[in-house]
Chain A
Amino acid sequence: MNTVSPFVLLSALLFTLGVIGVLTRRNAILIFMSIELMLNSANLAFVAFAHQWGQLDGQMFVFFVMAVAAAEVAVGLALIVTIFRSKKSTNVDDLSQLKG
């Protein structure tokens, strides 16, 4: 293949599926997994463009995105565990105390 557009289109498709997952699922853990899916599709676009331009900088950015994703998952899952302890639920619709 002499262009990377199929890879970038696949990346856009996976990102869209991640967005739909965040919007439709009500379980906090599944929302987190959908966010991981979106980060991953962005990484795919980074690597595709790095390949297209013949430079390594895109791959470097994937490293940092992975590090940020790891930090985000650690803190986010800690938040979910803490919320589960007090609410006994991981459904985001149950977290509506701030609703007027």
Chain B
Amino acid sequence: MTFDLFVFIGLALIGILAAIGLLTSRSAIYAALFLILNFSTVAVLYLMLNAPFLAVIQVSVYAGAIMVLFLFVIMLLGAERLAGPEAKTGLLWQRPLAVGLGALLLLQAGYVLITRFGQTAVSTTVVKSGPLDIGLMLFGPYLLPFEVTSVLLLVAIVGAVVLTRNK
């Protein structure tokens, strides 16, 4: 029982509880805040996994920019109050079925992951993953995907503007 394990268990509990809060919350604002909490715990897990730059990106891009966009749209639409999940839905069997299928998916994913990958020990070579090393990878072997990503973001910007334009 190392210190790392205690930190991991605490973070995992916070992350799972935040995800469950996202699923059960009656208010869209609270759901977004739960999701931000989940993203922050995952950022700390990135730190434990020797990915400090990704942890910072996770907080600034995911928990920052993307969730601000979510909160902005929630408040713009005035959709903070959610109707109860049972409200006028004709599919009463849907929720238990979804939970059951989700549990099945979890069992299968856990079984495959543990039996196929669980035994491999962590590589002993400590790879440097600071901003310099990330940048060398990004502008070296991954230059083409990087440039394609810029086109993707441009298309997304144009698409969002065209979709929301008031005629």
Task: Identify the closest chain A residue to B66 (Cβ).
Answer: A73
Given known pairs A6-B12, A73-B69, the reply for A54 and B42 (CB within 8 Å) is: no
Tell me the number of A-to-B contacts counted with CB atoms below 8 Å.
231
Q: Most chain-A Cβ atoms within 10 A of its Cβ — which of B127, B142, B163?
A: B163
**A29 engages B122 (CB within 8 Å):** no
Residues of A within 8 A of B77 (CB): 29, 80-81, 84, 90
Residues of A within 8 A of B92 (CB): none
Task: Identify the closest chain B residue to A90 (Cβ).
Answer: B79
Task: Identify the closest chain A residue to B166 (Cβ).
Answer: A85
Contact string against B for A residues 47-74, beta-carbon threshold 8 Å, 1 for contact and 0 otherwise? 1111111111101101110111111111
Number of interface residues of B (CB under 8 A): 84
Q: Which residues of A contact B (CB under 8 A)?
A: 1-10, 12-21, 23-27, 29-30, 32-34, 36-37, 40, 43-44, 47-57, 59-60, 62-64, 66-75, 77-82, 84, 90-91, 93
* For the complex of A and B, 6 pairs with smallest distance between CB atoms: A54-B123, A71-B156, A23-B98, A78-B163, A78-B160, A12-B109
List 16 A–B pairs whose Cβ atoms lie within 8 Å, in order of A's numbering: A9-B113, A12-B110, A19-B102, A20-B23, A27-B83, A30-B28, A36-B35, A37-B38, A53-B123, A55-B127, A64-B145, A66-B58, A70-B61, A70-B65, A71-B156, A91-B83
Task: Identify the closest chain B residue to A18 (Cβ).
Answer: B19
